[in-house]
Amino acid sequence: MVDAILSMNDIRSRFRGAALRLALAAWLALLVVSLVSGLSTPSHAQSAGLETTVDISPSAGNAAIAGGATAGGAAVIPPYAINTSDGWRCIAGYAADGAGGCARIIPPRNAFIRGNDWECYPAYHRKGDKCVALRAPAYGYIANDEIACHPGYRLTKDDTCKRYRVPRNAMVQGNSWVCQTGYVSKAGACVRLSVPQHAFIRGNRWECQAGYRRVLDRCETLKAPANATIRGNRWTCNTGYFRDDNMCRRLRAPANATIRGNGWSCNPGFLRDGDRCVRLTTPVGGVLQDGKIVCRPGFAADGKGGCQQIVAPANATIMNNGWACNPGFVRDGDRCRPS
């Protein structure tokens, strides 16, 4: 009986050992499968879109990119990007990497990130992918974070200031030169200005004297018609005359008008009607002021030379030649509504 009990315990012990070995083998098999799968698929860090530090050239820009990869029919927005009406674009501090994603911008030394690009600090200027300290060359100075040259010098591609040649009869003006009075620039030189008879030099050009007019490269005598006066290089008709092509005709004013210069105007109390002056009749609600009809307060011009009485809507008050809504009301077309 004792032997039988021992035999049963031995069987149970062996069974448990076999079960444990089977469980361990299954666990190992699952572990191997998981490792093999991990080699052929993106890691958790990659699939989660963890930051990738890339020194990207700002020339890639950050224009909105339309389309892109799709998943289940919907466009996929890469990490560090936002969706816009024109597609997606990278957020500030990132730029398109040319492969459908956004890479972090790493500015060079002495630079800072601005939007989707980088800029140099003050006193530095951009050269390629670097920020170079601004140093004033000989005959130069720094102005607004840029190299500038003193008068008489010009800036070269090497950021140096080179003295430029000033031709004869010229003078320095800023970072260039101009010809002196009486000379004109031709083919990098200053040549004497040719002045015709009856002309004088003004700066770098010539003008005809009073009483003469320019015709091509000469000055011809200016001839004024009768009843005209020469003023400078032109003529004008005398008072009481008007110009008609190349002559001056006598000006004739209608009744109740006065000649003024080269024209005429109606006398006070009269209104011009074509080529005549008609008497102004003072309408109801109007007065005559300086030869014009002015409507009294409470009246407004009717567009026909008369004055019409103003009718204010409810909740409004007549003011001068119009009306305004009372406090607590606002104008809405031709009525006043509560504000």
Sign of CA dihedral 326, 330, 333, 337: negative
| pLDDT class of 159 with cuts at 50, 70, 90 | confident
CB 141 within 8 A of CB 135: no
* Residue 59 main-chain phi, psi, to 5 deg: -65, -15
Strand 111-114 to 102-104 pairing: unpaired
**How many other C-beta atoms lie within 10 A of the C-beta of residue 30?**
9
Bridge partners (DSSP) listed for residue 186: 189
Distance from the Cα of residue 305 to its chain's centroid: 47
* Residue 199 main-chain phi, psi, to 5 deg: -135, 165
pLDDT for the residue numbered 322: 92
pLDDT for the residue numbered 75: 64
pLDDT for the residue numbered 107: 94
Q: Which tokens go with 131?
A: 């920020």
pTM: 0.35
H/E segment holding residue 100: none
Higher pLDDT, 52 or 211: 211
CB 279 within 8 A of CB 269: yes
How does pLDDT run across 109-120, given as a tens digit for each residue?
999 999 999 999
| Strand, coil or helix: 60 | helix
How does pLDDT run across 74-101, given as a tens digit for each residue?
568 899 999 888 889 999 999 999 888 9
pLDDT for the residue numbered 18: 60
Residue written as token pair 């840029």: 146
